[in-house]
């Protein structure tokens, strides 16, 4: 399944014919577990894209490839249509444009205050103090945690720590924000609050790519969805992709509740002789 692309908005970030396999050791000496086998993915400005797959399907690995933490075995990673090569200038350019927030916020929070944590990236860009403070204040406000600026990160709730980790990424002013299972561990209210904050970020032009196995979240939030199965990505409008029972079954995912209700209502309303 493919969806027509908006040719007026060229992709910020793209994988072309991407190939990657994990090297796994075993009693026979080792084997390769294929994650991507000729997959392609484009991310355009202001996009709201859900990346779906079952546990262990390779969603996190795909995000790490998009941000350059893992190296492709084949194919290309492109930023603004230019290939990202393994050299310092390209890595810096990618780091300034694309940010990844991990599933577990404690893997990214390390400073003694939230403000210090959020400022780490901008400081390492060599920005002057005024610009660093401006970026930090904007990021804290965007995630509604300005009142937590002087708190110790590890004394915060899980949801607050997630927001702090995302604020650290936003302070880099990325054009693409990658999120690995952002709703994991959040109660429904905290999840709704986080999605509202992310929507404000996306509306300002930042593409948001969310890896998740929560099909109901994807149905409610995403404009587009890409499902990872057997090393390939199948992409299209979210409400089309998430109605595809065969595709979701192959990915070990269920049809979203919203899709099931929509289908049942259509059957009820359109049944001959019952209108």
Q: CA–CA distance from 146 to each of 110, 138, 152, 196, 250 (Å)?
A: 18, 9, 13, 16, 43
Task: Locate the domains of the chain by residue range.
Answer: 47-70+95-270
Question: Of the given ranges (7-16, 36-45, 209-218), which has the lowest mean pLDDT?
Answer: 7-16
Query: Per-residue pLDDT tens for 66-116?
Result: 999 999 999 999 999 999 998 989 999 999 999 999 999 999 999 999 999
What span, in angstroms and rounded, lies between the C-alpha atoms of 256 and 245?
10
How is residue 259 written in tokens?
A: 């899709």
DSSP 240-255: HHTT-HHHHHHTT-PP
The matching CATH number, chosen from 3.20.20.70, 3.40.50.300, 1.20.1730.10, 3.40.50.980, for 47-70+95-270 is 3.40.50.300
Q: CA–CA distance from 23 to each of 32, 33, 230 (Å)?
A: 5, 7, 17
Query: Per-residue pLDDT tens for 180-239?
Result: 999 888 889 988 988 998 998 899 899 999 999 899 999 999 999 999 998 999 999 999
Q: What angle do CA 260, 264, 270 make, to 5 degrees?
A: 145
With beta carbons less than 8 A apart as the criterion, state whether 28 and 15 touch. Answer: no
State how far Cα 60 lies from the chain centre. Answer: 9
3-class SS string, 141-163: HHCCCHHHCCCCHHHCCHHHHHH
Sole residue written with tokens 């991990």:
102
pLDDT tops 60 at residue 274? no
């Amino acid at each position: 399944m493919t969806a027509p692309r908006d040719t007026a908005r060229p992709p910020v970030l793209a994988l072309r014919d991407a190939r990657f396999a994990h090297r796994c050791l075993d009693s026979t000496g080792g084997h390769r577990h294929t994650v991507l086998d000729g997959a392609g993915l484009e991310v355009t400005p202001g996009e709201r894209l859900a990346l779906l797959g079952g546990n262990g399907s390779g969603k996190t690995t795909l995000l790490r490839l998009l941000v350059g933490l893992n190296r492709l075995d084949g194919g290309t990673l492109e930023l603004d249509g230019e290939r990202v090569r393994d050299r310092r200038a390209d890595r810096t350019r990618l780091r300034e444009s694309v940010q990844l927030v991990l599933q577990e916020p404690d893997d990214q929070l390390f400073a003694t205050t939230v403000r210090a944590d959020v400022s780490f990236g901008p400081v390492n860009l060599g920005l002057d103090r005024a610009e660093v403070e401006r970026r930090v204040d904007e990021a804290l406000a965007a995630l509604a945690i300005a009142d937590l600026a002087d708190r110790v990160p590890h004394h915060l709730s899980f949801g607050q720590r997630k927001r702090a980790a995302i604020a650290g990424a936003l302070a880099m002013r990325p054009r693409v924000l990658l999120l690995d299972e952002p709703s994991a561990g959040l109660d429904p209210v905290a999840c709704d609050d986080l999605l509202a904050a992310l929507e404000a970020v996306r509306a300002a032009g930042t593409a948001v790519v969310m890896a998740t196995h929560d099909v109901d979240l994807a149905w409610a939030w995403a404009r587009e969805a890409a499902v990872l199965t057997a090393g390939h990505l199948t992409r299209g409008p979210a409400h089309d992709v998430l109605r595809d029972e065969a595709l979701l079954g192959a990915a070990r995912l269920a049809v979203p509740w919203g899709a099931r209700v929509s289908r049942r209502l259509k059957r009820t309303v359109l049944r001959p002789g019952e209108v």
